[in-house]
Structure 1
Amino acid sequence: MTMSRTGTRQEWLAARLELLEAEKELTRRSDAVARQRQALPWVRVDKEYRFDTVAGIVSLADLFEGRSQLLVYHFMFGPDYKAGCPSCSAIADGFDGSVVHLENHDVTLTAVSRAPLATLQAYELRMGWSFPWASSLDSDFSLDFCTSFTEQQQRTGAIDYNYQREAPWTDHGIGDALTKRGEGPVAEIAAMTGTDVATYTRERPGLSAFVLEGGVVYHTYSTYSRGVDGLWGMYQWLDRAPRGRNETSTWFRRHDEYGKG
């Protein structure tokens, strides 16, 4: 394992002060980007979406649970998955601690997946989670908000994800750009969900924000791919650890799988 350079306390302090200026600039830039994000125009949602929840079949407006703002995490858990995406699971491990604070600040946080509700509930029990989770299996919601796709879209190159059009799939799945010819982290994580690369990547991660005003739901924001990086609590900690993320492969597991084989 390579060791970083060493130095005196004075050298460390000089370097740290230089870094502090960069960190302050990053904070200022992040604040500016947040203001730009919140200044996006609201788009009225007229389509009727239905979700299966513990409260029964509900509308998109119902997901707000009486609050004016809704954050939806598009959790990768397709109808053919045997278990939820481990990456999404690592992100979702941090939801329960935030839900109560968000709810008391007029924001509802919920996950939405295309797996049947009973499947989601069983996985939620396994993980020990309690945050709201809805199934969009019988709705176009996940398709319309670009986090679920069909096999036909994969084959014909009709997938628009993260505001970009993807090339048609290869014989390995969704194209070399993401799979490196079917090898690497995507294939490894697909196996962890009990699926192949093509099936696994028909679901994608994302976050969408909505506001309810005057009885009307508006879509305000969506982000995908590395746009959800900030939700990975463990990576925020690792970025401040001496060796950073220090990863060459998919090292993380679902939290109940560490130490198993």
Structure 2
Amino acid sequence: MTTHNTATRDEWMAARLELLAAEKEFTRRSDALAQQRQQLPWVRLDKAYHFDTDAGKATLDDLFQGRSQLMIYHFMFGPDYTMGCPSCSMIADGFNGFAVHLANHDVTLHAVSRAPLAKLQAFKKRMGWTFPWASSSGSDFNFDFNVSFTEDQQRNKGIAYNFSTEPKFVWRSGQEGDSAGPVADLARGTGTDPATYTRERPGMSTFVREGGEIYHCYSTYARGVDGLWGSYQWLDRAPLGRNETGIWWRRHDEYKQTPAPAAHACCV
């Protein structure tokens, strides 16, 4: 017998209509935020950035692939990583499906990471992804758009990420930070330690080409990319919601290596 609140169909309908009003208000607010986002001033880029791509050396202009708009997902895959971040990998699992739709609406979706191109290509092949993914190795691109940081910043200044400055990283007993906890688990999943892992961060930035110039339009970080994390949009509508305790997700080809989850109390 469930411990969750139950009701008659008529009572459910009354509660659902109350929720519907709140959902509609949320949708209207989301529409207004989208308009506010599009009204942000643009910043013309004067700096040249170069990338390694499947087609060879490329400029930022080349990443547009002839379209007027470019959306870049800042995928956490640093030079010292052995694999891409599990969280970014879960987000990127949705890119194949909608990249073609964006491309046919004058928008190019591109992932960018600091790892060497060969690492990105190998991981992309393993994951079965087809979206374009460039390496910014040797470029200031990730640093200029606040998704990669130096050890000096981490140790001595505190990383300035997501429009605020974090405390200096805590270094313990010669180790690269704490060896337990969610961040340590994610770091181990990339073959690194917490310090190295967190010198890369997730985010998304958008650019536009107009009048022969490239402009930076928008960037978002941390939970600002929640809306791109398709699995969570589904879970937020599931009966038990996100229902999580710690890092439960894996790269999609790793689930077979983990035991099936225990039945939830409502299922037994």
Verify same fold: TM over 0.5. yes
Q: Alignment partner of 1:223: what SS?
A: strand
Q: Tell me if 1:214 matches 2:208.
A: no
- Secondary structure at the counterpart of residue 257 of structure 2: coil
Is the contact made by 1:143 and 1:149 (CA closer than 8 Å) also made in structure 2?
Answer: yes
Q: Match for residue 237 of structure 2?
A: 240
Give the counterpart letter for 1:32 in structure 2: A
- Distance change (3 Å), C-alpha of 1:73 and 1:245: same
Counterpart in the other structure of 1:26: 26
Shift of 1:167: 1.1
SS in 2 for 1:203: coil
Counterpart residue identity of residue 213, structure 2: V
- Alignment of structure 1 residues 170-209 onto 2, 5 Å: 170-172=170-172, 183-209=180-206
Alpha-carbon RMSD across the aligned residues, in angstroms, is 1.5
SS at match of 1:183: coil
The letter for the 2-side match of 1:192 is G
Whether contact under 8 Å (1:238, 1:245) holds in the other structure is yes
What stretches of structure 1 of length at least 5 have no aligned partner?
Answer: 174-178
**What does residue range 73-92 of structure 1 map to in structure 2 within 5 Å?**
73-92=73-92
- Contact 2:158–2:169 (Cα < 8 Å) also in 1: no
Q: 1:172 to 1:102 in 2, by over 3 A?
A: farther
User: Residue 222 of structure 2 aligns with which residue?
Assistant: 225
Among 257, 260, 265, the alignment partner of 1:260 is 257
Assess, with a 3 A threshold, how the Cα gap between structure 1 residues 82 and 3 changes in structure 2: closer, same or farther. Answer: farther
Cα deviation, residue 184, structure 1: 2.1
Instruction: Tell me the residue number matched to 1:176.
Output: none
Deviation digits for residues 220-260 of structure 1 (CA, Å, limit 9, x no counterpart)? 00000000001111111111110000001111100000020
Structure 2 counterpart of 1:95? 95
Change beyond 3 A, Cα 1:15–1:230 = same
Q: Provide the aligned length of Structure 1 versus Structure 2.
A: 255
**C-alpha distance in 2 between matches for 1:3 and 1:227:** 34
Q: Which amino acid aligns with 1:244?
A: G
- For residues 99-151 of structure 1, the C-alpha deviation after alignment (integer angstroms, 9 at most, x for no partner) is 11000000000000000000000000000001000000110000000000010
By how many angstroms is 1:158 displaced? 3.9
Give the whole-Å Cα distance in 2 for the aligned partners of 1:49 and 1:232: 27
Conserved in 2, the CA contact under 8 Å of 1:172 and 1:198? Answer: no
Deviations along 1:147-200, one digit per CA (max 9) or x if unpaired, are 000100000124210000111111159xxxxx9x55321111111111000000
Q: Distance in 2 between matches of 1:200 and 1:15?
A: 44
Q: Could you tell me how far apart the structure 1 residues matched to 2:179 and 2:43 are?
A: 38
- Secondary structure of 1:226's match? helix
Task: Classify the secondary structure of the residue corresponding to 1:259.
Answer: helix
Contact 2:69–2:107 (Cα < 8 Å) also in 1? yes
Contact 2:112 2:136 in 1 (8 A): yes
Task: Tell me what 2:164 maps to.
Answer: 164
Q: So what's the TM-score if we normalise by structure 1?
A: 0.95
State the distance in 1 between where 2:195 and 2:252 align: 25
- Aligned-partner Cα distance in 2 for 1:3–1:187: 35
Amino acid at match of 1:4: H
Query: Could you say which residue in structure 1 is the equivalent of 2:15?
Result: 15
Structure 2 unaligned spans of 5+: 259-268
Residues 98-137 of structure 1: pairs in structure 2 closer than 5 A = 98-137=98-137
SS at match of 2:243: coil
SS of the residue aligned with 2:19? helix
Residue in structure 1 matched with residue 264 of structure 2 by the alignment: none
User: Percent same amino acid among aligned pairs?
Assistant: 69
Taking the aligned partners of 1:167 and 1:212, their CA distance within structure 2 comes to 37
> What is the CA–CA distance in structure 2 between the aligned matches of 1:215 and 1:257, rounded to whole Å?
45
CA distance in 2, matches of 1:163, 1:172: 27
Residue 22 of structure 2 aligns with an amino acid whose one-letter code is A
